[in-house]
Chains A and B, each alone.
Chain A
Amino acid sequence: MSKLGNLGARLHRGEISYDFIGHRKLWYGISILITITAILGLAVRGLNMGIDFQGGAVFTTEKTSISVSQAEDYAKEASGHDAVVQKLGNGTLRIQIAGMDTKQSDQIKTDLAKDFKVDPESIAADLVGPSWGDQIANKAWQGLAIFMVLVVIYLAIAFEWRMAIAALVALIHDITITVGIYALVGFEVTPGTVIGLLTILGYSLYDTVVVFDSLKEQTKDITKQNRWTYSDIANRSINGTLVRSINTTVVALLPVAGLLFIGGGFLGAGTLNDISLSLFVGLAAGAYSSIFIATPLVADLKEREPAMKALRKRVLAKRAQASVEEEMADARPVSDEPDDDAAHAVVGPRTQPASRGRGRGRPSGKRR
């Protein structure tokens, strides 16, 4: 673990860094590929919609010795429909019968109880009308749309519109991937899944926002210097917050993993499992997109700005010159900065090799 701390230090100083922005085309490509796969999967295989979306009933018995196939027969007999029966980790049976009315279900429950020789009251039932799932889904889409609009507005105000756009793209990216994985693997989609999916919204952005925040801070006075282009600083922001991103993702995934383990292992199925599964997939996608997609995208958009173009020209010119003058030029520019804070924010000397000379070259006595 302390290795990670060390890594953090080295990332912080810029001793090691990965050029996320420089390789962005690669990552865009990968993401586009994944997204296309996801959309194809969705189009070809479609989603495996659970009982809640087609109407039907889910009965859960108490712990029983009746076998799965026996239960399937009973259920088919009682309902006239095919039934899917699962034996859960705790010895109970979960019987799913699709395509029936909520009114019929009472009779079926009674029949089943008779077959199983148990009290009808001991069978838990989840009866869902055919339009319930649609309603949930509609509401979810509605919520998604409202949330996206609000978040774009908020990010546009708190940061700027380019970041808002990039965050939105990353968000859509995460959701597409998650839905795609559901289609490809064939996981069942339930209201729980929808909950998980909607939670990804918050999480995915949460991560992105932290990187953006650091980016905003570091680029506050970007035009006042001519050593780094926007992309350079964006790259540094990602690297600087990398350890935090990893930590956040791990810490977020751990409880979800706990949920998934218990939901899948102990209960076998149900809300816990559904929520945690989609969360797990979505969180992973979210961590990936905030680093590999959102920030490079901001850099891309930003570099189109005239001011940034000019900056890039200056920086490149300066670098060409610097390659002649070598290290001499390297140590000096910091002291050109009249404002200490700006120097700190913009140049972020700590993360660059050049900063090694900082102690000498910079008038730190000036600070406040």
Chain B
Amino acid sequence: MAAPKRGRSASAQSKPGRALALILIAIVALTGGMFLSGHTTPRLGIDLAGGTSITLEAKADQGSAINKANMDTAVEIMNRRVNGLGVSEAEVQTQGDRNIIVNIPKGTNSKEARDQVGTTAKLYFRPVLAQEATGSAAATSPSPSASGSSTASPSPSASKSGSTGEKATSSSSPSASATSQGRAVTDALKADSTPSASASASSSASPSAPATGGTDTSSAQAKLQAQYTALDCSKKAQRTTAGEGAKPADTTLGCGEISGVWYKYLLGPAAVDGTEVKKAQAVFDTQTAAGWQVTMTFNGKGSKKFADITGQLAKNTQPQNEFGIVLDGEVVSSPYVSSSITGGSAQISGSFTQDEAQNLANMLSYGALPLSFQEQSVTTVTAALGGDQLHAGLLAGAIGLLLVVIYLVAYYRGLSLVAMASLLVSGILTYVLMALLGPAIGFALNLPAVCGAIVAIGITADSFIVYFERIRDEIREGRSLRPAVERAWPRARRTILVSDFVSFLAAAVLFTVTVGKVQGFAFTLGLTTVLDVVVVFFFTKPLMTLLARRKFFASGSKWSGLDPKSLGAKPPLRRTRRSGPVETKEA
């Protein structure tokens, strides 16, 4: 290509250099960001990387509505369960309005994961043997009243005095220095002789207490005690493993968050099973201004057990008058008891917000999950198959791209350089964004997404075709290249925008409405459509403007793809004032 002969009249061309510089800066910045973030490859989906993907569908058969709040709770709980298996990268997310997708990377026991995910009832009431704040936050904040203030009281009468009067007592409990509490438990465990009579009282009376209390080997207790001492609930990794695999009859550990502070618990054997809760609901107490409360009713067996346990707990002192509501190993609430609660119904009061009360009620009602779920599909992909699919997808993309490039070169000659450069820019942007979106929004490249990207080659290339054909039409009119490029643009631009909008609309509708694999496909399609517009506006058009100044293109060289002769242009019979001088110069 010849050196540019004229730099003048650049201002008339809407500063192509600036747009080009802009998009180059954007590319460099994004690529830099990609390398800085350390995620240089897109996150691969289960079908490409191997692993198990489980799709669950919520069933509306428990009288609980399938709404966003319930789905979110379910996701949170499942997440806790799956990650409790020791998988760090399992992900649980809602899809559509009633589906949950659980993706478990390879190398995990998928069978166990499947068992864990869908089960509903994993809720236990366990007496609290010891409680202690952990993490740095504990030292500074002597926990606010919300913490210990949850009170279980016999419904309905005792709630009045209970919630307000005893708040003072309870608020002191977590703030009482961590060490003293810890010691109390140590004693309780070490010997049954007990400095704290209450502890022994509770343990001896609770159903399976003897097993844990004295007769069992003290080594197990010592071990548990050591674990308890070492446990730091402010660390996520420790939280998920605490109390892992504990049977209902075991004494176990647990963590619970109260107002942003993580507490660790030593918990006795399960006294009441979550399934024995007949019903729980959040109610707003208008009479006593106690705010939101959770009322629960037990079934026959549950009532008796609950009466027993509360009777024992009531005799104890903080924190051993509390029972922990343990959900999948996490203590979701630890109300204390002031008297035996008989009659099969109780209410938990405290300074709940409506959401908190609702959540707790959900957990109590439905065990763990607010909804019941049915397995819709389980896909297990071995690493080998995943690799094959990835390989095939990339190969298909390469072949498709190659065919398109061959076609473009054959048809558009020199212009195809512009098309290829634009495709390249588009490709780089797509790749970088995919890599960045992985950690950012959890985007994972799956096979349909790869398909979407390949199909998008066509859509992207089409924008160039629309533009090029317009330019050629203008040249056929007898215009020289520079005015042709400018005149063709507004029209091509409109066509591109309208058709890309339709394409984007399709992708957006698909993305919001559909589930499963379709979504990944729709996402890539939408992304590439947006990028197509960006590339055409900020790259292809400015590049054309710049190239139109080059002799190779402007003079309509045979290989430029813009040869007026081979395009069958009429020789310009009369020169317009605008294009006149340009052409004379070229001649």
A residues contacting B by CB (< 8 A) are 1-2, 4-6, 8-10, 12-13, 52, 60, 62, 90, 92, 102-103, 105-106, 121-129, 131-132, 135-136, 139-140, 142-143, 146-147, 150-151, 154, 158, 191-192, 194-195, 198-199, 201-203, 205-206, 209-210, 213-214, 217, 240-241, 243-244, 247-248, 250-259, 261-263, 266-267, 270-272, 275-276, 279, 350, 359-360, 364-365, 367-368
Contact = CB atoms under 8 A, between A and B. Distances in A.
Contacts, number: 272
Q: Is the interface of B mostly helix, strand, loop or mixed?
A: helix
Contacts of A360: 573
A205 B509 CA distance: 14
Contact of A206 (B469, B477, B499, B570): B499
A123 B396 CA distance: 24
Given A205-B499, A247-B465, 5 more contacts: A126-B379, A126-B380, A198-B518, A247-B462, A255-B400
A213 B490 CA distance: 12
A209 B380 contact: no
B375 A102 contact: yes
Given A143-B510, A205-B502, A244-B466, A199 B455 contact: yes
B491 A136 contact: no
A253 B522 CA distance: 19
Pick from B381, B385, B410, B573 the residue with the most CB of A within 10 Å.
B385
Interface string B481-523: 0000000000100110011011101110110011111100110
Given A271-B448, A272-B447, A367-B576, A251 B378 contact: no
Contacts of B577: 365
Given A254-B404, A258-B403, A263 B518 contact: no
B462 A248 contact: yes
Nearest to A149: B509
Given A12-B473, A259-B396, A154 B379 contact: no
Contact of A5 (B96, B380, B567): B567
A255 B385 contact: no
B392 A266 contact: yes
Given A192-B448, A199-B525, A124 B455 contact: no
B459 A254 contact: no
Nearest to A349: B477
B567 A251 contact: no
Nearest to A102: B375
19 contacts: A5-B566, A9-B569, A103-B375, A124-B382, A125-B380, A129-B376, A139-B515, A147-B510, A195-B518, A195-B521, A205-B506, A209-B502, A213-B499, A254-B404, A255-B400, A259-B454, A261-B396, A350-B473, A359-B570
Given A252-B462, A258-B399, A13 B476 contact: yes
Pick from B380, B454, B457, B503 the residue with the most CB of A within 10 Å.
B380
A139 B577 CA distance: 59
B578 interface: yes
A210 B462 CA distance: 11
B451 A8 contact: no
A132 B111 contact: no
Interface string B385-423: 100110011011111111110011011000000000000
A346 to B, nearest CB: 15
Given A206-B502, A244-B469, A254 B507 contact: no
A148 to B, nearest CB: 9
A154 B403 contact: no
B509 A359 contact: no
A198 B55 CA distance: 21
A90 B410 CA distance: 34
A151 B498 contact: no
A98 to B, nearest CB: 14
B576 A364 contact: yes
Contacts of A60: 382, 385
A2 B558 CA distance: 11
Contact of B395 (A122, A253, A262): A262
Interface of B: 47, 55, 57, 96, 99, 111, 374-382, 384-385, 388-389, 392-393, 395-404, 407-408, 410-411, 447-448, 451-452, 454-455, 457-459, 461-462, 465-466, 469, 472-473, 476-477, 491, 494-495, 498-499, 501-503, 505-507, 509-510, 513-518, 521-522, 525, 566-570, 573-574, 576-578
Given A146-B509, A350-B476, A125 B378 contact: yes
Nearest to B521: A195
A367 B479 CA distance: 14
Pick from A52, A106, A259, A365 the residue with the most CB of B within 10 Å.
A259
Contacts of A124: 379-382, 385
Given A131-B376, A209-B498, A210-B495, A262 B396 contact: yes
Given A8-B472, A127-B379, A213-B495, A142 B502 contact: no
B510 A198 contact: yes
Given A62-B384, A191-B517, A252-B462, A135 B498 contact: no
Contacts of B574: 359, 364
B72 to A, nearest CB: 20
B400 A257 contact: yes
Nearest to B571: A359
Contacts of A136: 514-516, 518
Nearest to A267: B392
B573 A359 contact: yes
Given A5-B567, A90-B388, A154-B505, A129 B375 contact: yes
A144 B255 CA distance: 47
Pick from B507, B513, B522 the residue with the most CB of A within 10 Å.
B513
B465 A244 contact: yes
A187 B277 CA distance: 52
Contacts of B388: 90, 92, 267
B509 A147 contact: yes
Contacts of B573: 359-360
A102 B118 CA distance: 13
A267 B568 contact: no
Contacts of B47: 271
Given A126-B379, A129-B375, A132-B376, A255 B457 contact: yes
Contacts of A271: 47, 389, 447-448, 451, 517
A121 B50 CA distance: 11
B150 to A, nearest CB: 39
Given A195-B448, A202-B525, A102 B378 contact: yes
A13 B568 contact: yes
Contact of A202 (B374, B502, B514, B518): B502
B451 A276 contact: yes
A213 B501 CA distance: 13
Contacts of B472: 5, 8
A137 B509 CA distance: 15
Contacts of A131: 57, 374, 376
Contacts of B375: 102-103, 127, 129
A154 B374 contact: no
A252 B465 CA distance: 11
What 6 A-B pairs are tightest by C-beta distance, nearest first?
A9-B568, A255-B400, A258-B400, A202-B506, A252-B458, A258-B399
A309 B499 CA distance: 30
A214 B392 CA distance: 39
B470 to A, nearest CB: 9
B568 A6 contact: yes
Nearest to A52: B377
Pick from A143, A257, A368 the residue with the most CB of B within 10 Å.
A143
A187 to B, nearest CB: 17
A279 B459 CA distance: 13
Contacts of A206: 459, 462, 499, 502-503
Contacts of A201: 506
B392 to A, nearest CB: 5
Contacts of A1: 410-411
A256 B455 contact: yes
Contact of A255 (B411, B455, B521, B567): B455
Pick from B382, B396, B476, B514 the residue with the most CB of A within 10 Å.
B396
